[in-house]
Amino acid sequence: MRQFSRTDPEYGHLIASTSKAVVVLDADLNFEDCNDAAAALFHCSRASMPARRAADFLPATQLGGNDSVAAMHQAARAALADLPQTMLSQLLAADGTPFDAIVQFEGVRIDGGLRIVARIRNISRLREAEQALSDSEERLRQVLENTSAVVFIKDPAGNGVELNFAAEDA
C-alpha cells in the first residue's frame, strides 16, 4: 500500500490530475480532499467537498438494481485491504444530474491513516456515442430488411458482407 504525507509533494501529485477527477475519502467514505476536476465534475466548490459523503453523490440504486451505497462500501473495503477496485457506476452531481462514470479505488496511507483514493472518469459522452451508434445500426438494419431494392454490401477487399432479403429472393 502506498504511503503519503499531506505535506510532501508526492501527495500533491496524487490529486493533481487534470484528466481525471480525484477524491480522497476516509474509511467511512467521507470526502477529505479532491482536485479541481472532481469539484467541476460534481458541480460544487473544492472547499465544500470535505463536508460531503460519497453517498451524497449516489442514486439509491445502480442501473442493474444494486444498492449504490452497499456497492461503494464493498469496493472501498476491498481497496483498503490492498485490492484495488474498478467499478462502472452511475453518480450524481450536486445538483442531482446523473452521469455514468468509471471509478477506480485504491487504498493508501496518508499521514499514517487508511484512506481511499478514488479516480473518477465521466463516461457519459462515450455512453451517448455508443447509443447513437446502436441507434444508427438499428435504422440501417430496418432499411435493409424492409426495402424492396436489392442491397449488396462489400468490404474494401470486395468480399460480400451484407445481403438484404430482397436480394436473397431475386
Mean pLDDT per block of 10 residues along the chain (170 residues) reads: 93 86 96 95 93 94 93 96 96 96 97 96 84 85 81 85 71
Tell me, what's the pLDDT at 84?
97
Closest of 29, 31, 90, 28 to residue 59, by C-alpha: 90
Sequence-distant (≥ 6) Cβ neighbours of residue 155 within 8 angstroms = 161
C-alpha grid cell for residue 133?
A: 451508434
Tell me, what's the pLDDT at 147?
80
Tell me, what's the pLDDT at 129?
82
CA distance 129 to 127: 5
Tell me, what's the pLDDT at 102?
96
One of 2.40.10.120, 3.40.190.10, 3.30.450.20, 3.50.50.60 is the CATH number of 2-122, namely 3.30.450.20
Q: Which residue ranges make up each domain of the chain?
A: 2-122, 126-169
